[in-house]
Amino acid sequence: MVQRQMPNPKELAQLMRFKAPTLNPTDRRLDAALTIADLRAIAKRRTPKAPFDYTEGAAEGELSLARARQAFQDVEFHPSILRNVPVVDTSREVLGERSALPFGIAPTGFTRLMQTEGEEAGAGAAGAAGIPFTLSTLGTTSIEGVKAANPNGRNWFQLYVMRQREISYGLVHRAAAAGFDTLFFTVDTPVAGARLRDKRNGFSIPPQLTLGTVINAIPRPAWWINFLTTPPLEFASLSSTGGTVGELLDSAMDPTISFDDLDVIREMWPGKIVVKGVQTVEDAKLLAGRGVDGIVLSNHGGRQLDRAPIPFHLLPDVVREVGDDMEVHLDTGIMNGADIVASIALGARFTLIGRAYLYGLMAGGRRGVDKTISILRTEIQRTMKLLEVSTLDELGPQHVTQLSRLVPVAKTVTDAAELASASKPATVRANRSTGGAAKTGAAKTAAAKSGGAKTTAAKSSAAKRATGTRSAATKSSSAGARTAKQATASTGSGSGSTPATDEQTS
């Protein structure tokens, strides 16, 4: 029988924890956001459809982006235990300086279209958080304006080598003069990707007022008030060139750019240079011998070639091949600090965020970008604590495996041909049932190609490739803790290795 009594006012008072209401509506909205997805939901409510879709959308069927995000969702972490980790250090050495967090803000064009504070909000928030900010060639704040917004922090400049080379060269000199320390040379845009959402929305810059846009604007007055009462939206770095927006865009994409352009820019730029948009191991290897300081494995957030390789899947192989020669960065699909931790664990030196930043910007201007960074920081710290690592350098492939959905059956055309000839149905069935996939042609060839100390990891790598799983094997010639850890993970003998089944492979 439950005993009942009159409520005791003293006990009741202890239970009451009324917080003073947050009066500022932006702060109130942002306080409620716990994840980047929450920021996205706020952004969507507050931004007209055309600019929101321009930001969120990707090319054609948007498969590249969906797959990149899926790859992160398919990460399986393997935590250590009892490692006594009261605090974690999230900082990372990148291109010669320390960043407080292992990510920076990626270059994005037309940023003031998403929210009028645009790049100033991004650069200011990045500077305050101690992380780098990257300004796009197609930015809507000038090089000098970004420097003013982030005077003491690190600013990077992203270059499109345009048809009129002198325009690009002029920007390179301006960025150097303004003290930008790194140049990102984007190479995945020989032509514009087909952004179908923009076509369907009749998207244009500046946005046109049609009956549809007016109706869509009614519940989003703040965006329109901002848009109509602030300086016109234009390409800040390119305005002096005098072309129309369409002409400028067209001239930004040049299908004739080549390695020679890279050499010219390398000569011209006094700081670090990073090639953004690398999508094959072969190209990564070519760049390693060409004097660049880093590469970004990126498919432009899925906005260029649809069905492009998933950068996260490329990562272990690229790190194995060129990780000792230059820094390997990664972007596309990052929506959670855990995605960043997983990337670092598989060998990325650094990562970049595009939409995660823009969702914050659209949700609340500068404070929204601060919130994006704070959400990712919290997620990184929490994931590190749960994995029981105190520094990012302690992360390794033993902490990460991937569920095998979306993993390529063969990685290269050559592998595919070898697989096709080697895997007659009966053989494949026999191999699968005995776990003997290492006997397939692809595995043999890969193992044969790799010599000496590489053999164990390569065999395992090829075996996993043949069965549709990925490897985190490293170039074992580069001795050291990372190599040992990666080889352990790749051979599946470490505590962190989880075999995946063929049946799940797409």
Ligand X SMILES: Cc1cc2nc3c(=O)[nH]c(=O)nc-3n(C[C@H](O)[C@H](O)[C@H](O)COP(=O)(O)O)c2cc1C
How many CB atoms are closer than 10 A to CB 166?
A: 9
d(CA 457, CA 467): 15
Residue whose C-alpha is closest to residue 104's, from 356, 301, 432, 452: 356
Please say which residue, 356 or 446, places its beta carbon nearer to ligand X.
356
Please say which residue, 298 or 476, places its beta carbon nearer to ligand X.
298
List residues bridging with 98 in a β-sheet.
93
Catalytic residue ranges: 300
Backbone angles phi, psi at 195, to 5 degrees: -90, 95
- Reply yes or no: is the peptide bond before residue 206 cis, omega within 30 of 0: yes
* Burial grade of 506 (CB within 10 A; 0-12, 13-18, 19 or more): exposed
Residue with tokens 């390569």: 458
Residue 184: CB minimum distance to ligand X, A = 7
Torsion (CA) 41, 112, 67, 44 in degrees, nearest 10: 20
DSSP track, 298-331: --GGGTSSTTPPPHHHHHHHHHHHHTTTSEEEE-
Rg (alpha carbons) of the chain, rounded to whole number: 25
Structure tokens at 140: 């809507």
- Whether 60 contacts 193, CB under 8 Å: yes
Residue 300: CB minimum distance to ligand X, A = 5
Residue 238: CB minimum distance to ligand X, A = 11
Residue 54: CB minimum distance to ligand X, A = 6
Residue 146: CB minimum distance to ligand X, A = 14
Measured at CB, which residue is nearest to ligand X? 354
Q: DSSP assignment, residue 352? A: E
Residue 494: CB minimum distance to ligand X, A = 30
Q: DSSP assignment, residue 220? A: -
Strands 327-330 and 350-353 turn out to be parallel
| C-alpha distance across the termini of the chain, in Å | 59
Please say which residue, 149 or 457, places its beta carbon nearer to ligand X.
149
Please say which residue, 294 or 441, places its beta carbon nearer to ligand X.
294
- Whether 236 contacts 141, CB under 8 Å: yes
Please say which residue, 136 or 383, places its beta carbon nearer to ligand X.
136
Please say which residue, 105 or 419, places its beta carbon nearer to ligand X.
105
Residue 298: CB minimum distance to ligand X, A = 5
- Whether 454 contacts 478, CB under 8 Å: no
d(CA 93, CA 100): 9
Please say which residue, 122 or 494, places its beta carbon nearer to ligand X.
122
List residues bridging with 159 in a β-sheet.
185
Q: Which residues bind ligand X (CB under 6 A)?
A: 55, 106-109, 136, 138, 158, 186, 276, 298, 300-301, 303, 331-334, 353-356, 358
Residue 236: CB minimum distance to ligand X, A = 12
Please say which residue, 343 or 431, places its beta carbon nearer to ligand X.
343
d(CA 199, CA 219): 23
Residue whose C-alpha is closest to residue 309's, from 501, 71, 107, 489: 71
Residue 418: CB minimum distance to ligand X, A = 33
Please say which residue, 113 or 487, places its beta carbon nearer to ligand X.
113
d(CA 43, CA 9): 43
Give the helix/strand (H/E) hosting 135. Answer: strand 133-135
Residue with tokens 């003013």: 148
d(CA 59, CA 196): 7
